[in-house]
Structure 1
């Protein structure tokens, strides 16, 4: 299921789908590129032979390209000049980055972000949607810097970082707008592990191979959903769902083999 768009490529190795975003030229993240990423992500999500999804940066020293300043200025001008007042309970006005964030966040397949370079602002908000983040050593920074400009993260950063790290640590990182080198980001919990320089994608592939070798798509989907919902679910409800999912998956086994399908 290998595929290529103007700025993205997908390669499948075994049961691992690898999306590489961007090229080694001057390119910005914009609506068109977000649509390309969504097309590639949807292709991997719908392919039953892809069990684990990896996203890596294709531009040197950068996880995602910086967002198009022209598009941002146009969007800000539209918002500022509009008479519409946004109430707290309004439906979300979906922006291009939201669409790819949602695809990754809601994926039943395990996802790994191979952070190969600078990962700040919207790039980190995208990375926070993944189940696992591998960053390689380097002189780049990771963080949410919006507070230093009088704003705050607007593409899920306040919500997902808090769910991941807890209120106190998320507040510290977001309010300070501190940008951290990879090893400090790992100590804070923003990324799961750090590799030697140039090894993030290799490590992500190793993890994906391990997971798909020792597990099964149904088991991985159950693990992902049960672990993610645990923090927001009463214990008794979580235990009940865990046991019922366990029984249903066991019922699909034949003579101790892995579940069919």
Structure 2
């Protein structure tokens, strides 16, 4: 029933070309779909579009639960735009960008907004979800995956970088520091069932979006005050400084003197995804 109501709700809202953020809402649940064809990566512009789409929903009294999902078959958010990362690090090396700017980027703003949300935000992962895409999912209230999510993880180390969009802190919060360290040092990429066993996702079901709609409907039926209180009182401010330090440390990779941006540009030119690297 809820899925039917969503499909007949307000029409999709498109933002940017070719990047698309679609918002579908009906009654008290909103579905936000992200797409950036053909590869499904996300840039800071994409993160800004998600902030612009989700922030009004968090403020709207009539919206009581939000679902974030992918708008392309087989992709949630594949990973961050590696070309943009390479360009940014190159500019840091040239002195035209301050590493501190990474802590105030749209990507950082998106993660902080989701962390602080006082409404449930469910990541419905029906496809590839790595790197920056998984960091966004980690900032959500919960994560539901389907078998179509054949690659979930933080494989940045394979490109000689590290998760700089909140991954070091939010993964540690989720599974513990030791397991998170090993996961990132290995650059692990998992199937949905492996991610469930590792505690990275909360459920694996045939269709993540269908299950997310069911859960969103349940949350929407609860007391708004009680739900908000639970989310507010279980939030933590302890990670803020560490998240900022993580982002700045990521930016400082551009100061190492290594040929890092060049390697990242080569990867971007190769037209492949992180799931193909070992």
What's the TM-score, normalizing by structure 1? 0.78
Q: Distance in 1 between matches of 2:80 and 2:107?
A: 10
Contact 2:157 2:185 in 1 (8 A): yes
Q: Deviations over 1:88-147 (max 9, x none)?
A: xx6863222112212211111111000111111111110000111000113621111122
Contact 1:22 1:65 in 2 (8 A): no
What is the aligned partner in structure 1 of residue 261 from structure 2?
Answer: none
Higher Rg of the two aligned structures = 1
What is the aligned partner in structure 2 of residue 224 from structure 1?
Answer: 231
What is the aligned partner in structure 2 of residue 137 from structure 1?
Answer: 147
The 3-state SS of whatever aligns with 1:138 is coil
The 3-state SS of whatever aligns with 1:155 is coil
Q: Evaluate the alpha carbon distance shift between residue 122 and residue 202 of structure 1 in structure 2; reply closer, same or farther with a 3 A threshold.
A: same
Instruction: State the Cα distance separating 1:10 from its structure 2 match.
Output: 0.8
Matches within 5 A, 1:195-214: 195-196=205-206, 199-213=207-221
Contact 2:58 2:117 in 1 (8 A): yes
Match among 50, 53, 56 for residue 40 of structure 1: 53
What's the TM-score, normalizing by structure 2? 0.74
Q: Deviations over 1:28-55 (max 9, x none)?
A: 4223322221111112112110011110
Q: Evaluate the alpha carbon distance shift between residue 32 and residue 178 of structure 1 in structure 2; reply closer, same or farther with a 3 A threshold.
A: closer
Q: Distance in 1 between matches of 2:215 and 2:230?
A: 15
Aligned pairs, how many?
A: 226
Instruction: State the Cα distance separating 1:26 from its structure 2 match.
Output: 5.5
RMSD across aligned C-alpha pairs, in angstroms? Answer: 2.5
Q: Evaluate the alpha carbon distance shift between residue 100 and residue 231 of structure 1 in structure 2; reply closer, same or farther with a 3 A threshold.
A: closer
Q: Distance in 2 between matches of 1:167 and 1:29?
A: 27
Match among 194, 208, 218 for residue 184 of structure 1: 194
Q: Distance in 2 between matches of 1:91 and 1:71?
A: 14
Q: Distance in 2 between matches of 1:39 and 1:60?
A: 23
Q: Evaluate the alpha carbon distance shift between residue 91 and residue 139 of structure 1 in structure 2; reply closer, same or farther with a 3 A threshold.
A: closer
Q: Distance in 2 between matches of 1:91 and 1:23?
A: 24
List gaps (5 residues or longer) in structure 1.
233-261
Considering Cα pairs closer than 8 Å and 6+ residues apart, tell me whether 1 or 2 has the greater RCO: 2
Q: Evaluate the alpha carbon distance shift between residue 26 and residue 126 of structure 1 in structure 2; reply closer, same or farther with a 3 A threshold.
A: closer
Instruction: State the Cα distance separating 1:149 from its structure 2 match.
Output: 2.6
Instruction: State the Cα distance separating 1:230 from its structure 2 match.
Output: 11
Q: Deviations over 1:166-200 (max 9, x none)?
A: 1122122111111110001011100001011xx10
Contact 2:40 2:77 in 1 (8 A): no
Contact 2:116 2:235 in 1 (8 A): no
